[in-house]
Amino acid sequence: MPTIAYPETKRVNVVEEHFGQKVADPYRWLENDVRNDKEVAAWVEAQNKVTNAYLNTLPSRDIFKNRLKQLYNYERFTIPVKKGGRYFYLYNSGLQSQRVLYVRDSVDGAGRVLIDPNSWAKDGAIALAEWSASDDGKRVVYAVQDGGTDWRTIRVLDVNTGKVQGDEVKWVRFSPTIAWAKDGSGFFYARYPEPKQGTESQASVANHAVYFHAIGTPQAQDRLVYATPDQPTLGHYLSITEDGCYIAIVSTPASIGNKLTVVDLKSADWKPRKLVDNLDDRWHVVGNVGTKFFLMTTKDAPRFKVVTMDIAAADPVITDVVPEQDSVLSNASLVGGRLFTSYLVDVQTEVQRYTLDGKADGVVKLPGIGTAIGFEGDQNDQETFFGFTSFNAPGVIYRYDVASNTARVWTQPKVAIDLNRIAVEQRFYKSKDGTRVPMFIVRRKDVTNPAPTLLYAYGGYAITEPPAFSAERLAWVEQGGVFAHAHIRGGSEYGKAWHEAGRRQKKQNVFDDFIAAGEYLKAQSITPQNGLAIQGRSNGGLLISAVVNQRPDLFAAALPQVGVMDMLRFDQFTGGKLWLDEYGSPAQEADFRNLLKYSPYHNIQSGKDYPAILATTADTDDRVVPSHTFKYVAALQAADIGDKPHFARIETRAGHGAGKPTDKIIEETADMWAFAAHWTGLDVKPAK
């Protein structure tokens, strides 16, 4: 195999001492912003040139790209939101760069385009992000996301005329909900202070705050509703009750417990009232009936339960409505006079119904084994919707009648693949310490011998990624490959304990679980000895690069995406301080020593034969800044770790993932799959 000529990367003499230990950081200069530093920009250009030259030699690249275009070319709807008798939803006809906001005047009426972001930029990289329709259905507030950034600009649209109004709100970030006031006079949102000019992409974010914007007024007059200047790392996530009487604010540093505050909008002063003022447990507002709030909580229930709290009392009493069960409660909602609860049963959804006093009222029959989401709506409306998906079932949306407990198909996509050929099975394997870990395995039904395998996991932040349809993964499976998804610790598949077992000082359990998954796949003759590729994004990118350092012999190829690679400096950039509760603080000695043990950038083992690595990032990612990947790849290329390629693929005009245009997704996936196919021996053939 010819030696790859990597671009020369300058080394600098940066050595810092932490708790008596000296740590070198020779690629510190790559932390500079690619848009402001010509030297970093030249390095990125040189890396992409070498990477693309190699990828151009892989014949399966074009095969995957063409097939992905076919597999992606199907209709995709989001669950409709009913406001003022109208139905609002996002829609992509197939290969559109961005999803389009539509409205229907009746449940089965014709859709009308409200907002089409595909006209906003020639490269398709400006996206419609968060949006919300007013209660009367006459206005939509929506957020604009440019080039994948986490920053948003909010605007308002008149639904009847289709005209954008003059309102503009900037520097919105991490505000998944934009909530209209009941009377439509304005909306609530969360934002950070405006950063200094030129630092938008890398500035550390702090002092999140909730504001109210009155329609027709300048942003400078927006009313501050809630902030915690004494705790600048808290993020504040808001919701408004259906009756419009209260704003509920969940405040959390990341993924552990949260505080809970309510604001009585009927009062003149909007004085915040703290209902929960500690981070011991997680709280989520389900809904309310007057002053009685329905809440999901992990208090005395690590797998969640539903409780009520009457806030009319000076010291509200917490009363169980639906006690904790063996399965994990993942969502609850009040619709049509019923309480709907969704449970994860070994990572598969089951939906139960209750009366509001907690009496069992049957179950919702789902179309199969998979994932159901939705069941949102008004308490007085017998109509709601839910979506259902699985590895071999594209997202079907159902209209559900609460009174009769029946559902009918509202939208059902047609995909360019025979899904009856795809088999999905769930298995359980033991990790290093004996913990039982679930894993889904997806392959063609006729694939019975060991086959090149793509193993994926996330493992952090109490995030669970249940079974879902993926055109990208099916492109791999269709070629005779195996896709495996390990639900390792760090998520919330089995509740709070499952997350805690993969957090901070226990992070090594996450890596052990993933390594055990790879060993299991080989031991069970699902995967050949030299045919295992691994993939993960963000925290999952950290996972992939960490396990490669620990067990380079186990893997043939690795695809770490937008990963957190420097565990000693992650808190220095953008939202990194928000991750301290998940990883621990490099400024604390015990945490520092634990982080240094697995930090991908600091643990590359010269003298070991490493798998082929294609690390992907984006030049404008302002959540996990690209310098993590830049420094990691520079260190890989400088190390004595064998002759297999170790590349960076650096996307332009893209961020952490959200808002990425369809064509960029297809191109990146084709590159990754072609790379993994080559190094695992997957025989890729053109589609017939």
User: Going by C-beta distance under 8 Å and a sequence separation of 6 or more, which residues neighbour residue 119?
Assistant: none
User: Going by C-beta distance under 8 Å and a sequence separation of 6 or more, which residues neighbour residue 639?
Assistant: 604, 605, 606
DSSP β-ladder status, 81-83 and 76-77: unpaired
Torsion of CA 306, 310, 314, 315, to 10 degrees: -30
Element (H, E) at 664: helix 662-680
Our answer to whether residue 284 is catalytic in this structure is: no
Q: What is the distance between the alpha carbons of residues 351 and 334, in angstroms, rounded to a whole number?
A: 13
**What six digits make up the tokens of 76?**
């995709």
| Residue 399, number of CB atoms within 10 A of its CB | 18
**SS3 at position 651:** strand
Asked whether the beta carbons of 171 and 145 are under 8 A apart, the reply is no
Helix (H), strand (E), coil (C) string for 363-378: EECCCCCCEEEEEECC
Can you name the residues that pair with 187 across neighbouring β-strands? 180, 213
Element (H, E) at 352: strand 348-354
**What six digits make up the tokens of 270?**
């909007």
User: Going by C-beta distance under 8 Å and a sequence separation of 6 or more, which residues neighbour residue 574?
Assistant: 150, 201, 202, 203, 204, 205, 622, 623, 625
Q: What is the distance between the alpha carbons of residues 329 and 352, in angstroms, rounded to a whole number?
A: 10
Q: What is the distance between the alpha carbons of residues 351 and 356, in angstroms, rounded to a whole number?
A: 16
State the sign of the Cα–Cα–Cα–Cα dihedral 116, 117, 120, 123: negative
Q: How far is CA 660 from CA 97, 126, 242, 676, in A?
A: 8, 8, 32, 22
Our answer to whether residue 538 is catalytic in this structure is: yes
Can you name the residues that pair with 237 across neighbouring β-strands? 250
Asked whether the beta carbons of 472 and 669 are under 8 A apart, the reply is yes
**What six digits make up the tokens of 687?**
């589609």
- Active-site residue, selected from the candidate residues 538, 545, 599, 627: 538
Q: Within 13 Å, how many C-alpha atoms sit on residue 470's CB side?
A: 19
Q: 284: burial class by Cβ within 10 Å (0-12, 13-18, 19+)? A: buried
Q: What is the distance between the alpha carbons of residues 342 and 332, in angstroms, rounded to a whole number?
A: 6
- Active-site residue, selected from the candidate residues 487, 602, 656, 678: 656
Which among 342, 338, 332 has a CA at the least distance from the CA of 380?
Answer: 338
* DSSP state at residue 571: G
Can you name the residues that pair with 389 across neighbouring β-strands? 371
Can you name the residues that pair with 186 across neighbouring β-strands? 214
Q: What is the distance between the alpha carbons of residues 47 and 627, in angstroms, rounded to a whole number?
A: 13
Asked whether the beta carbons of 552 and 576 are under 8 A apart, the reply is no
Q: What is the distance between the alpha carbons of residues 474 and 469, in angstroms, rounded to a whole number?
A: 8
Which among 146, 168, 148, 170 has a CA at the least distance from the CA of 157?
Answer: 168
CA-based Rg of the chain, rounded to a whole angstrom? Answer: 25
Q: What is the distance between the alpha carbons of residues 502 and 491, in angstroms, rounded to a whole number?
A: 8
Q: How far is CA 251 from CA 155, 209, 228, 257, in A?
A: 25, 10, 9, 9
Q: Which residues are catalytic?
A: 538, 656
